[in-house]
């Protein structure tokens, strides 16, 4: 496929991870299926596993969900550098649309951070060579709200709200998903849900697919004080659906891809009366990102039937929109508040992907590291001077995580010291340290109704933790 001019295709993918924090936690499994634009498979299914480095402990609860253990990935998997390079190469094939189910807010963040940790551009694959990304979860929500015919919609027993869990949707529509939380099973299910919407509501599907491109989103979502639009988002979810009427107010000064909007179903009085110190916390304010495939629709979509279904009082919300437009000082107040806003940062390079782009000269130095033979990478890194203060330590960790076997005993011991400190006291608000890991496993093992499958996973995790602890701490204890 790489040897010819590639036709447009969709690479559907899913990840299973060892935790929920995309900056810190690691990917366990990647699976993907490439289809044409009619959703017919056109290439072999892909399944990859990623080995764990010694500076990381998985969340036992995540392992119980996925059934994947460190031993499995270390036996079946690739080093993270090789793992993410294979993914990058697939994502970067000309005219590839990378798609998933809730992938932009979850899976894509893990991909970005893995690329960053391994000295690759985290964003290039999202726009270069005609490539783009798409996420169908808000298309599914919009289908429920705007064009529900032909699809069975499950609801939550506790409150009657719609549920958009992939497993619930597949069960309601007689789609096979045996083995959920296996990445390949979930990819197949995602494709089937996309096919269902494409068949039953082709115009809605087409709208969502085309508006994955941020320029088309910009044409509808205009600021400052653009026209009110329909926005489908999980924060609005109720029995009435997931769509509300919002007004774009101003751009986010800290991220040009974000527009600060207000949900016009909410009372605008608190927004108008708020001072600079607390205005950003006003109930009803919401950020919409051009580059995250939001599902937005022009006001003309709001028919009287939809007004009733979505519980939108059109006259009332348009009156609120006009009142906000009549208060232009609101824009200045919001911008001042955003300018004064302090962003709390974790003082660890693994958490600093969004601290700015690396300059071209540093990217050239990263390429030098990539192209160097394994045993010389660390020596070369020591001789290079980087422009970005993150770079040298980022490269050092990349090398030791992926090429530890090529290092001297002195470097290995230094790395062990780093790893031992990290699993005892991880950075930021990460809860899974060695004590939590062991305690959580013991608590679960003591459960009287523990299933055999879970017991086997927990015992495997316990063994892994003990072996990692012995490997990292034994020499320190001997000294």
The number of domains in the chain is: 3
Place of tokens 């599902």: 295
Tokens coding 158: 């506790």
> Who contacts 438 (Cβ-Cβ below 8 Å, separation ≥6)?
462, 465
DSSP assignments along 332-392, one per residue: HHHHHHHHHPPPP--SSGGG-TTS-PPPHHHHHHHHHHHHS-GGGHHHHHHH---SSTTHH
Instruction: Please indicate, yes or no, if residue 354 is contained in any of the structural domains.
Output: yes
Q: Identify the domain containing residue 225 by its residue range.
A: 214-340
> Would you give per-residue pLDDT tens digits along the chain (479 residues)?
444 457 999 999 999 999 999 999 999 999 999 999 999 999 999 999 999 999 999 999 999 999 999 999 999 999 999 999 999 999 999 999 999 999 999 999 999 999 999 999 999 999 999 999 999 999 999 999 999 999 999 999 888 899 999 999 999 999 987 766 689 999 999 999 999 999 999 999 999 999 999 999 999 999 899 999 999 999 999 999 999 999 999 998 888 899 999 999 999 999 999 999 999 999 999 999 999 999 999 999 999 999 999 999 999 999 999 999 999 999 999 999 998 887 788 999 999 999 999 999 999 999 999 999 999 999 999 999 999 999 999 999 999 999 999 999 999 999 999 999 999 999 999 999 999 999 999 999 999 999 999 999 999 999 999 999 999 997 544 44
What is the per-residue pLDDT for 255?
84
Q: Do 459 and 389 belong together in one domain?
A: yes
Please indicate, yes or no, if residue 43 is contained in any of the structural domains. Answer: no
41 within some domain:
no
- 198: domain CATH number? 3.30.420.10
Res 477: pLDDT: 45
Residues with Cβ within 8 Å of residue 407, at least 6 apart in sequence: 378, 399, 400, 415
Residue 51 included in any domain: no
**149, 259: one domain:** no
CATH number of the domain at 313, please.
3.30.1520.20
Q: Are residues 195 and 230 in the same domain?
A: no
The reply to whether the predicted model has a pTM over 0.75 is yes
Show which of 273, 306, 340 is a domain's final residue: 340
Pairing of strands 132-135, 96-100: parallel
Say yes or no: 378 and 441 in one domain.
yes
Q: Is the peptide bond before 224 cis (omega within 30 degrees of 0)?
A: yes
Based on the domain organization, do 411 and 369 belong to the same domain? yes
Q: Are 246 and 261 in contact (CB under 8 A)?
A: yes
Q: Cα(first)–Cα(last) distance of the chain, in Å?
A: 56
Residue by residue, DSSP assigns 229-262 as: EEEE-GGG-BTTBSEEEEEEEEEETTEEEEEEEE
The structure tokens 């290995």 sit at 412
What is residue 38's predicted lDDT score, i.e. its pLDDT? 97
In a domain, 357, yes or no: yes
| Residue written as token pair 């988002």 | 233
Q: What confidence score (pLDDT) does residue 158 get?
A: 87
- Do 300 and 402 fall within a single domain? no
Residues 269 and 375 both lie in one domain: no
Nearest to 74 by CA among 29, 20, 119: 29
From 340, 375, 405, give the residue that closes a domain: 340
Element (H, E) at 329: helix 329-340
- C-alpha distances (whole Å) from 160 to each of 149, 259, 283, 395 are 19, 31, 24, 50
Q: Produce one character per residue of 286-318: b if its CB has 16 or more CB atoms within 10 Å, e if not.
A: bebbbbbbbbbbeeeebeeebeeebebebeebb
Q: Can you tell me whether residue 78 is helix, strand or coil?
A: strand
**pLDDT on residue 438:** 97
Distance separating alpha carbons of residues 53 and 418, to the nearest angstrom? 12
- How many Cβ atoms from other residues are within 10 Å of residue 269's Cβ? 11
Q: Checking DSSP bridges between strand 9-17 and strand 96-100, what pairing results, if any?
A: parallel
In this structure, are 374 and 456 located in the same domain?
yes
CA 418 – CA 366 distance, rounded (Å): 22
143 and 226 co-located in one domain: no
Is residue 59 in some structural domain?
no
312 in the Ramachandran plot: left (φ > 0), alpha (ψ -120 to 50) or beta? beta
Based on the domain organization, do 388 and 468 belong to the same domain?
A: yes
DSSP reduced 3-state for 197: helix
Residues 336, 354, single domain; the answer is: no
Q: SS3 string of 112-177?
A: HHHHHHCCCCCCHHHCHHHCEEEECHHHHHHHHHHCCCCCCCCECCCCCCECCCHHHHHHHCCCCC
Same-domain check for residues 468 and 386: yes
The Cβ of residue 150 has, within 10 Å, a number of other Cβ atoms equal to: 12
| Nearest C-alpha neighbor of 138 from the set 27, 233, 247, 272 | 233
Give, in degrees to the nearest 5, the angle at Cα 49 between 47 and 50. Answer: 145
């Amino acid at each position: 496929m790489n040897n010819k001019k590639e036709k447009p295709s969709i690479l559907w993918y899913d990840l299973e991870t060892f935790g929920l924090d995309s900056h810190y936690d690691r990917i366990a499994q990647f699976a993907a299926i490439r289809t044409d634009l009619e959703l017919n498979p056109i290439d072999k299914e892909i399944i990859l596993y990623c080995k764990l480095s010694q500076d990381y402990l998985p969340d036992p609860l995540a392992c119980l969900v996925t059934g994947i253990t460190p031993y499995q990935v270390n036996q079946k998997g690739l080093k993270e550098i090789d793992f993410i390079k294979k993914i990058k190469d697939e994502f970067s094939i000309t005219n590839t649309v990378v798609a998933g189910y809730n992938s932009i807010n979850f899976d894509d963040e893990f991909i970005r951070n893995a690329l960053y940790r391994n000295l690759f551009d985290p964003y290039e694959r999202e726009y270069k060579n005609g490539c783009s990304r798409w996420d169908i979860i808000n298309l599914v929500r919009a289908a429920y709200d705007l064009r529900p015919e032909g699809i069975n919609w499950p609801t939550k027993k506790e409150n009657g709200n719609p549920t958009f869990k992939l497993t619930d949707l597949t069960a309601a529509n007689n789609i096979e998903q045996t083995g959920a939380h296996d990445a390949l099973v979930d990819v197949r299910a995602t494709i089937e849900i996309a096919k269902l919407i494409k068949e039953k509501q082709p115009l809605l599907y087409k709208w969502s697919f085309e508006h994955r491109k941020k320029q088309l989103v910009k044409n509808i979502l205009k600021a400052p004080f653009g026209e009110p639009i329909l926005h489908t988002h999980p924060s609005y979810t109720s029995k009435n659906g997931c769509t509300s009427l919002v007004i774009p107010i101003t751009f986010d000064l800290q991220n040009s891809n974000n527009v600060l909007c207000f949900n016009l179903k909410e009372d605008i009085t608190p927004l108008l009366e708020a001072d600079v110190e607390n205005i950003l916390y006003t109930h009803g304010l919401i950020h919409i990102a051009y580059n995250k495939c939001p599902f937005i629709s022009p006001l003309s979509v709001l028919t009287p039937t939809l007004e009733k279904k979505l519980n939108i009082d059109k006259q009332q919300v348009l009156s609120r929109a006009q009142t906000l437009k009549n208060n232009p000082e609101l824009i200045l107040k919001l911008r001042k508040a955003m300018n004064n806003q302090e962003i709390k940062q974790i003082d660890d390079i693994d958490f600093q992907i969004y601290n700015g782009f690396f300059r071209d000269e540093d990217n050239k130095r990263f390429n030098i590291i990539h192209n160097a033979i394994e045993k010389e990478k660390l020596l070369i890194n020591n001789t290079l001077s980087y422009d970005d203060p993150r770079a040298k330590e980022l490269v050092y960790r990349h090398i030791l995580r992926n090429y530890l076997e090529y290092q001297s005993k002195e470097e290995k011991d230094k790395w062990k010291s780093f790893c031992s400190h990290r699993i005892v006291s991880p950075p930021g608000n990460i809860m899974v340290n060695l004590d939590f890991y062991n305690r959580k496993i013991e608590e679960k093992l003591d459960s009287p109704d523990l299933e055999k499958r879970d017991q086997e996973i927990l015992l495997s995790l316990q063994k892994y933790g003990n072996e990692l602890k012995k490997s990292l701490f034994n020499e320190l204890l001997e000294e």
